[in-house]
Structure 1
Amino acid sequence: MHEELQLHSVLGDLVSVNHRLTRLAASVTGSTESPAVWRTIAVLRDLGPMRLGELARVSRVSQPTMTKLVHTLDERGWIRRIVDASDSRAWLISADPSGLAALDAWREELAAALEPTFAGLADDELATLAAAVDIVRGRLELVRAAASTGAVA
């Protein structure tokens, strides 16, 4: 039971500190871009093309909000609308290479903005952070794989 409580506490802290880190990174850059823009492109990168309603559901925004986001991204050329092979009347939204490049550039800007905050890390601390990222990424990939096969993760 003690181990479960510790895991529960650590996971809560991880989510909380991640939100704080994200807010800090965004504020340090001085960017006025909506985080929803980057989140939408990242969802499309990670999960692939999807219908507007599914994209809204996964992104946890209303369909009208996602319609506006997709319109903005389409105007920038950061997404593509492709015909849904299963229903020729419907469209899938896909990330465009230019949108993926913009997302990569944003990630680089965030990392550069945060570097001074973490500049004094010892080698073992940096290795610990890298290992933590690998662990979290691996677990998220398990969830993704289970979801794509219909299994419960």
Structure 2
Amino acid sequence: MRAARRMRIESSSDAVSPGQYSVLAGLRSEERTIGELAAIERVSAPSMTRIVKGLLEAGLITRTVSAQDARRALVALTPAGTVAFNAARNQRTAWMAQRVEALDAADRATLARAAVLLQAMSAK
């Protein structure tokens, strides 16, 4: 839990909070509704609405009406949102790479094995 929390903090910047980063990540492959994003992030719809509002104001996402159902609003990444997400991801990756590089070979091997096990456990 501590490692996950730290990675969320490391992926944030002045431009993107940890919650916003997570939403941007969820929009990389497809547009989604606020309800879908709230379910993915396990937050309430009002909380997600606040996050989306901040991202809209920053120009990182767009909000449009669904062509199939006019009652549904869809949010999607803008080019600036993609840039902000990539910058935050690169910051997080650099932070993690520095920590892993500082480990000795045996600890890196242990970490690699643990990553495989955690991935297998989360797939079940």
TM-score where L is the length of structure 2: 0.73
- Measure the CA separation in 2 of the matches of 1:67 and 1:116: 35
More off after superposition, 23-32 vs 37-46: 23-32
Native 8 Å contact 2:13 2:88 kept in 1: no
- Equivalent residues in 2 for 1:51-130, closer than 5 Å: 51-121=33-103, 122=105, 125=108, 129=112
CA deviation map 1:62-106 (0-9, x unaligned):
111111111100011111112212112432111222112211111
Native 8 Å contact 2:12 2:88 kept in 1: no
Question: More helix per residue: 1 or 2?
Answer: 1
- Measure the CA separation in 2 of the matches of 1:42 and 1:113: 18
Identity over the aligned pairs, expressed in percent?
34
Structure 1 unaligned spans of 5+: 1-18, 144-152
**Structure 1 counterpart SS, 2:28:** helix
Greater Rg by CA: 1
Native 8 Å contact 2:9 2:18 kept in 1: no
Root-mean-square deviation (CA, aligned residues, Å) is 3.3
Amino acid at match of 2:42: R
Identify if the C-alpha distance between structure 1 residues 102 and 23 changes in structure 2 by more than 3 Å, giving closer, same or farther. same
Identify if the C-alpha distance between structure 1 residues 27 and 81 changes in structure 2 by more than 3 Å, giving closer, same or farther. closer
Amino acid at match of 1:38: Y
Identify if the C-alpha distance between structure 1 residues 69 and 103 changes in structure 2 by more than 3 Å, giving closer, same or farther. same
- Measure the CA separation in 1 of the matches of 2:12 and 2:52: 23
- Measure the CA separation in 2 of the matches of 1:107 and 1:91: 27
Structure 2 unaligned spans of 5+: none
Amino acid at match of 2:85: L
Shift of 1:115: 3.0
Identify if the C-alpha distance between structure 1 residues 92 and 28 changes in structure 2 by more than 3 Å, giving closer, same or farther. closer
Q: 1:35 aligns with which of 18, 24, 40?
A: 18
TM-score where L is the length of structure 1: 0.61
